[in-house]
Structure 1
Amino acid sequence: MADTTQSTKVWKKFRRNTLALTGLIFICFMVVVGILGYLITPDQTPYVNTMHLQLTNKKPGRTFQFLIVSRNENIKQVGLFEKMLFGQEANFKSIPITSSRIVGNKVFAREYIGDDEQAEEEAYPLVSGQNTYQKTYYLGTDIYGRDLLSRLILGVRVSLSVGLMAVLISMVIGVGLGAIAGYFGGKVDAAISWFMNVIWSLPSLLLVIAISFALGKGFWQIFIAVGLSTWVDVARLVRGQVMALKQVEFVEAAKALGFSNGRIIVKHILPNIAGPILVVASANFASAILLETGLSFLGFGAQPPMPSWGTMIKEHYGYIIMDAAYLAVLPGLAIMLTVYAFNLIAIGLRDAFDVKGQNTSV
């Protein structure tokens, strides 16, 4: 009952913080978008990687007509859950056109090759079913003619999944080492503290790059790399909190009752420092997203064609000084809003748990 009462008090204090609550709502919205994934993307092919090089860097809101030139009936139609996770491979190939007409069993169409150019009319075989369709690119297309909105939506998955897995890894390592160092003290504390100081002295991005070199490039490797670089904050916090709590009455009583050290740490000490741990975990989530996007920008993160906000900025940062700055600004804005939302949550949790002296900024 006491835990429920404490949780209720924390929630009431948290929801009174308008900015923190707004950040939580935004993150919940992003989580829903990330889970739905391909079900809400205009391009539902794997990695939203449908390219039309004729449509490179088209402005947001442009609508184009497409001609289906061939169909592949052997493509397997996947179920709803599999489609949500991995997408559905297209069973046709199409080209953008400016006009078309059907004569007999042929379709005569002019392929779109630019706004100011006119292609000659060519004949294409008439395929069964629908021959033409229209598609609107609500946020325009990238340098490869891919739908920018689809890639932004799927990029949510990369950032949130890397952040979540990195935080879980850092929590397991940080809480474990910090609790051991703070509880046992002495030579154990000295050895763990020395190791933490060594890791602490290394710049996070350089450490992640070094780990990525060791593990190789890839999506799963980035989980481990980012997680191994963010555990020190958790360990230092837990160590200090455990050192402060191990001398209090309820811990001494547990020792007198003969409880094991492991039980005392897990059952009695850690639940009492859950608040500060949640605060630093929220801040580390934001740090992990920034590290992942930085790695992707440098080419060590999620590898193409997997959509990543950092990779999207890397591909389009040259357009910032041109008339297509939105190609880099939109993924940058997504990163900024997501990181800011997690920082707002961290500040809200800090105030709700009344955690003093903890740095929750990234």
Structure 2
Amino acid sequence: MNDVRLGVIMNGVTGRMGTRQHLERSIVSIRDAGGLSLPDGRRIVVDPILVGRNEAKVSALAERFGIERWTTDLEQALANPDDSIYFDSQTTDRRFHDVARAIEAGKHIFCEKPTATSLADALQLARLAKDAGVKAGVVQDKLFLPGVIKLKRLLEGGFFGDLVSLRLNFGYWVFEGDWQPINRPSWNSRKEDGGGLILDMYPHWQYVLGHLLGPVRSVLCHAQVHIPRRWDEAGNAYTATAEDAAYGMFRFDDPVFAQFTTSWVTRPYRDEIAEWQLDGTNGSAIAGLRECRVQSRGTTPMPVWNPDIPNPIDFRAGWAQVPDNATFDNAFRIQWEMFLAHVVDDANPHPWDLLEGARGVQLAEAAQQSVDERRWIDIPELTL
């Protein structure tokens, strides 16, 4: 078999998401499966090198997964011509500088989002990659969630009729850290360290909305810090400067309307931490990360407002499960495989480049402007 070795510099994988999704469930999983087979008979063999600032953490991670190569010296890693891909899942405030260095070193780029803390920097990365002639990809993992795949399938099959609205309820309780260990890194709650729910999550919502409904043309958003006092990983109290909830509304070319509640200060009473509800004249669907249920026009009950008697309708009983009709792999691994194949051969498409990443930052920046100015913000088409 004709093997193609791809050396992958993985920077920032000592964090929760980097370890679980990008290293263990993607790169290590691909390695343990014997590589990635291509349609032309070749096989991609991944050879990662782990990069981190904390020697103890990165060395322990390498030992845990049987990875021989690791370093705390990014410059040294970038200088190796045998490693052609640079991956970044560091904290947001470090991403622009190190991705730019990797582009300068001639590496292909695959990185988490947001790609930068400002639209200007995100566009600069896209321009640098284009000028350098390197390939680039930005993680868009939620496109490959089974629930979102099923929603897209229903849309393409005409299930909804004329669309009316899309509603998202997303989030969970992020513990303050005083009596219970925190379940998200403390830097997420400090704007000065690149934190903030809008910058974190709105790049996700940009590509999900674009995938389902088309480009977002305007946004109205309210956000605030509901819990201003939190405790960090060492148990030290600090003032939270980044919003922990955002309430957004979005408009498109079509009259369909979207409203998203995104919150780290909510206790879910629903099947999954994220639920998208798409309503149309002929039917509705509710999708989580994996499951999706539908109710058609013909099976819609007729509720009657009467607070004096118990509700006679079991609303959940009128919804039917959408079948999988497929085997779903890990969303991060799917996109890793697409990007690795794209690096080897242009015939393997990967449309989510750094310009797409910049569009996510654009929506986050427009939403923050809406918060600051308390008004709708139009979103122009973004080009290089």
**TM-score (normalised: structure 1):** 0.27
Which is strand-richer, 1 or 2?
2
Select the structure of larger CA radius of gyration. Answer: 1
Which is helix-richer, 1 or 2?
1
